Amino acid sequence: MDVFEAMGTARAMRFFKPDPVPQELIDKVLWAATRASSPNNMQCWDFVVVTDAAVRKQLGDLFKPFADRVAAMPVPDNAVDRRTLVGARNLGENMGNFPCIIFVCGHNVYPPGAPRETFMYSAVYAASQNLVVAARAVGLGAAFTTLHGVFEADIRRILRIPDDVFIGTTIPLGYPDGPTGPVSRKDVADVVHYDGW
């Protein structure tokens, strides 16, 4: 699939088949992630890839209370919000069952001597988006999430992520167990301003 089709159909996938993701596909999406732009080509990212069943179970146990909180929320009237709520609950209930979870991390190192977090964010989130689009291109699904923020201390402990490393995104990865299709976005003309606002 070409890059435009992959971008246009890379919906957040929150439901996955249990089938393992072949290492060559994990390597391919990580390669794509590391092609992202970064300030002064610092490449200030690291990726923690979790495929081990025992480690995934530990992570899954952390996320289950999140699913309980989501389940207690009132069901939204809006179909999009309702679908998001159902997907979020599924993430919480099944994070430990997903075949692969990738944590995209960053280092606040640019500019040297006076680092600014905004530069790190620009690299981490660009890498995350490349990963999501590449996943779609090779027939996988992925979801760009920040759910780690709820349990960050425990995630750091389980995965031995140093305190000075920023965890930017939690991206479950696997074969989609649900429909794929075009993303729903505003028309380009509604958000583009030429030669000024």
Could you state, in chain order, the average pLDDT of each consecutive group of 10 residues for the chain (197 residues)?
95 94 99 98 98 98 91 90 90 95 98 97 98 98 93 97 98 95 95 98
Return the pLDDT at 145: 94
Domain boundaries, the chain: 3-50+98-178
Q: What is the pLDDT of residue 113?
A: 95
Say how far apart CA 194 and CA 181 lie, in whole Å: 30
Contact between 173 and 142 (Cβ < 8 Å)? yes
What pLDDT, on a 0 to 100 scale, did the predictor assign at position 84?
A: 87
Question: What SS3 class is residue 49?
Answer: strand
- Write down the residue that tokens 């606040």 correspond to: 108
pLDDT of residue 8: 96
Strand 100-106's sheet: what is its strand order? 45-50, 100-106, 166-174, 141-142
CATH annotation of 3-50+98-178: 3.40.109.10
> What is the amino acid identity at position 159?
L
pLDDT of 101? 98
